Amino acid sequence: MNLTGVPSSLLAELRSAAVGAGVKRLAIVGGAVRDGLLHERYGRVWTGVPDLDWILEGDAMGLAAELLKRCGEQRVTELQSYGSFGTVALQLDGIALDFAMARKETYPMPGENPVVEPGSLDSDLVRRDFTINAMAQDLLSGQLIDPHRGQQDLAERRLVFLHDESVSDDPTRVIRASRYAARLGFVLSPEALQQVTATVRRWPWSWQLHDAPDQAPPALANRLRMELDRLFAGEPWALALDCLEEWQAMALLDPSLQHDRGRNRRIAWAQRLGLPLLPAWLAGAPDPEAVARRLGVPGQQQRWLKQLLQLQDWLVSADAPDLHAAPDVWTAALETQGWMPETVAFMVCSQPPQWKPLLRWWGRWRHLKSPRSARDLIADGWSSGPALGNELQRLRLEALKRSR
């Protein structure tokens, strides 16, 4: 089987080094095996970044040392060792390689980070999310290892969790399922859907903390956000979100997002304007800042969402300009209120009646400068200070007024 993104010459070097280092088993696992089989058997090609995951039974640092001895420092670069399991990262001929010792894991509590211990390749495969990701290609024997019938599920285009507690242990696997369903065109097996439904039924945040009853375990919240970041970074996000809605799984984030009819429009506009997509989606919640805070979204994005509700209220108040007011009126009003540009841009994504003047301010009006500079005014006798700034703003607004 050809492994997507892995040159055959590199595989030959790894085999020789593994034998020289006394490694028992060296295998590539997960996405590279899945995508290689999809390409070889069904002509499906994944054009994204290759998902390379190397697992070995043996000494990772010993393997790296053997590679260095055989290939030299010009070919083996950026060698680093980190983690309690001797994980090693390096580059061979400019290709990034990460070697990890085989391990096993247990979940002390649902949603918490797992406890990890040394293990075998077989136990490492059990850690995976779906059967189609629990296959390995042993580079030493050439054997395709498939203990969980991943090939059959690949042929039947279905997503099957590895065990009965997969989603209960780690609900982020629901988000991951939506990513694979959207990317590969696969569907959840009936048993997998039952797991999702059972977990969502115990939501929101059934595993509550005594001192924060509306919060998920921090590790779970962070992993949910990371999965969502991956979803929006490189997946067909509209299809993935459709899957989450079909599975009634939006409650993992906020129940109000389950029936959010404006979500695709908001996210598409955010994409068009070069904005982060996750906050554009969360803007559909009644309290988007609270959802963002729960998920550990970056603080700046939380501030945008907090201001978004305030801007929404302001737009329907008597203080907001008329829909057809001049550019200088809109500019003065928006800038006096102190709205952050990103807040205004996210409001455009929601398409309120005033979206056109808001978009014009964000894209054009706010960038217009005074026709005369501070240096020009000082040359005319103005002194530095607030009065100078006010005059520059007056001249700028005059220029905006004429630009209508």
pLDDT tens-digit map of 61-72: 999 999 999 999
Amino acid in the structure at residue 365: W
Provide the Cα torsion 269, 256, 130, 54; round to 10°. Answer: 50
Task: Give residue 209's pLDDT.
Answer: 42
How many Cα atoms are found within 13 Å in the side-chain-facing hemisphere of 323? 6
The residues with which 29 forms a beta bridge, in sequence order, are 136
Residue 206: pLDDT band (50, 70, 90) is very low
* 144 or 221: which leads in pLDDT: 144
Task: Give residue 404's pLDDT.
Answer: 66
Amino acid in the structure at residue 172: T
Examine the pLDDT at 164 and tell me if it is beyond 60: yes
Residue 40: pLDDT band (50, 70, 90) is confident
Examine the pLDDT at 285 and tell me if it is beyond 80: yes
Q: What is the mean pLDDT of residues 135-145?
A: 93
Task: Give residue 199's pLDDT.
Answer: 87
Residue 234: pLDDT band (50, 70, 90) is confident
Average pLDDT, the chain: 89
> For the ranges 56-70, 75-89, 146-160, 169-183, which has the lowest average pLDDT?
75-89
Task: Give residue 10's pLDDT.
Answer: 86
Please say whether the beta carbons of 315 and 352 come within 8 A: yes
Task: Give residue 353's pLDDT.
Answer: 96
133: tokens are 């990701």
In angstroms, the CA 179 to CA 132 distance is 14
101: tokens are 């010792």
Q: What is the mean pLDDT of residues 289-308?
A: 94
Please say whether the beta carbons of 283 and 350 come within 8 A: yes
